[in-house]
Amino acid sequence: MERKPISIIIDEIPEIFHPYLSGADIYDSSCSPEARVYYIDKDNGYFLKKAPKWSMEKEAAMAEFFHSKGLSANVIRYISLKEDWFLSERVMGEDGTAKMYLDDPERLCDAFALALRTLHETSGEGCPIPNRTADYIALAEHGYKKGLFDTSIFPGMEFKNADASWRFFSENAKYLKNDTLIHGDYCLPNIIFDDWRFSGFIDLGNGGMGDRHIDLFWGAWTLFFNLKTSKYTERFFDAYGRDKVDPDILKIIPFAEVFG
């Protein structure tokens, strides 16, 4: 996780967060154009995130729920003004793309898979996003109708065209379940280990009750992407537990993701 030292104009940040910023070194830890993330180097560390209005409402709710399960950091405050602001404590450790983890890919693969199985065996009772699967299907349909169709991050997968891909997904979406607490964006940058011990999940805006194969698909994809090889795909599924992996359901997921 990159952190670049920056100076800030404190009056541009809501006053409720000023006590956390006072006397602290501030770093830019953003990793996407959609949100600005500040790392506040004070106490054990905080992350302050700014994004378009209402865009982090679900993320804040899911972060609080994950924290209640011992799976994420404490949420300090979420407010929606002209923009959304979301302050949370730091999850201790480094994410799965840190050099010490990438340098031991077999151990990383196994730890990554076991953390996912633990998440999926966690009760989702009271989850604030009770039907992420319906949202997932609706988002794919919205993307299709807008003309979105991007296959570039799925090398080696065959997609004839947008219409054929949508037809395949829409005919098979009924097989997606809604019975598992999922992360929704399960990739190596979104899991934190503290010297190989699982420490917590971050970036939970796509989480909720959904189909485990969404996480399984992205887990395999991120190992391919970050380790530059597909050799750990089968090991990942073995470590997670083949008893819960349905290859036919896995094949459905990319036909939704191309429209996202």
Q: Average pLDDT for residues 83-112, to the nearest whole number? A: 97
What is the strand order of the sheet 36-41 is part of?
4-6, 25-28, 36-41, 46-52, 83-89, 75-80
- CA contacts within 13 A on the Cβ side of 113: 22
Active-site residues, by number, are 185
Q: Distance from CA of residue 250 to its chain's centroid?
A: 18
**pLDDT one-digit tens code per residue, 221-254:** 999 999 999 999 999 999 999 999 999 999 999 9
Mind listing the domains of the chain with CATH numbers?
Answer: 4-89 (3.30.200.20), 94-257 (3.90.1200.10)
The band of 9, judged by pLDDT with boundaries at 50, 70 and 90, is confident
160 CB-contact burial (10 Å; exposed 0-12 / middle 13-18 / buried 19+): exposed
- Structure letter (DSSP) for residue 184: S
pLDDT of amino acid 130: 97
Of the candidates 157, 211, 165, the one whose C-alpha atom is nearest the C-alpha of residue 184 is: 211
pLDDT of amino acid 155: 87
pLDDT at 31 over 80: no
pLDDT of amino acid 133: 98
- Structure letter (DSSP) for residue 74: P
pLDDT at 114 over 90: yes
Which pair of tokens denotes residue 33? 């154009």
Local structure of 249: helix, strand or coil: helix
The band of 2, judged by pLDDT with boundaries at 50, 70 and 90, is low
The pTM score is 0.94
